[in-house]
Amino acid sequence: MSNQLIVAIDGPSGAGKSTLSKALAKQTGYTNIDTGAMYRSVALLAKRQKIDIEDGKALSALCAELQIEFVRDGEVEKVLVNGEDVSRQIRTPEVSLLTAKIAAQPVVREAMVRMQRQMGEAGGVVLEGRDIGTVVFPNAQVKFFLSATAEERGRRRYEELRAKGGEVDLLQTISEVEERDAADCAREHAPLKRAADAIDIDSTSMSIEEVLDFMLQVITKRQD
């Protein structure tokens, strides 16, 4: 039987991590762990329970009773928090903004990293995030660092929002991407950083299929 590897995909927002990790998991039969969704879930519950983001004790208690599951329902992947489907609620702009602050809190990072290690240690997983190859699984057998220029990532986000019928401005969307990059890279705890042994993929002028093919080749080679 092939080895069950740990595959880490890190990179800035909008580089295609989610699409690719879902597609990879489907092709390999691995479990996809969207670590951003885990931080988003903590933010959603903190908002509901009106917890101050600086209140380490309350955040730590919240994380201790948190159960997160990723389940596939046909083609749709769902995030269940304490049994409730929160897939949509964790994607609102308000929760996104709060998540960036929550994800900078050390107590939250410690709890999520512990949970991610438990979920992934047996292998057969694709984890996507910012600190998977550097902090969560520094010994992962396959590490990708997926990026694209801020202009291209902003353009993709702009197309996505427009397709949903939103009123958006391209230049503003690009500058929001740049702002998020700066915040992700500058934060004190587990900033976005490329692992020294990660395989770089610049997806600026590549299609999803091209990136997916390349990733699958790497995984197949390492599985043998």
Residue numbers at the binding site for ligand DC (CB under 6 A)? 13, 35-36, 39-40, 99-100, 103, 129-131, 184
Give 129 or 154: the residue with its C-beta nearer to ligand DC: 129
**What whole-number distance in Å separates Cα of residue 84 and Cα of residue 143?**
32
Shortest Å, Cβ 37 to ligand DC? 6
**What whole-number distance in Å separates Cα of residue 186 and Cα of residue 203?**
23
Give 176 or 184: the residue with its C-beta nearer to ligand DC: 184
Residue nearest to ligand DC (CB): 36
Give 63 or 103: the residue with its C-beta nearer to ligand DC: 103
Least Cα distance to 42 among 123, 125, 135, 104 occurs for 104
Shortest Å, Cβ 120 to ligand DC? 12
**What whole-number distance in Å separates Cα of residue 124 and Cα of residue 7?**
8
- Radius of gyration over every alpha carbon of the chain, rounded to an integer in angstroms: 17
Give 26 or 101: the residue with its C-beta nearer to ligand DC: 101
**What whole-number distance in Å separates Cα of residue 86 and Cα of residue 160?**
21
Q: Please calculate the CA angle 120-129-74 and round it to the nearest 5 degrees.
A: 70
Shortest Å, Cβ 103 to ligand DC? 4
Shortest Å, Cβ 224 to ligand DC? 29
- Residue 44 is encoded by which pair of tokens? 């959603």
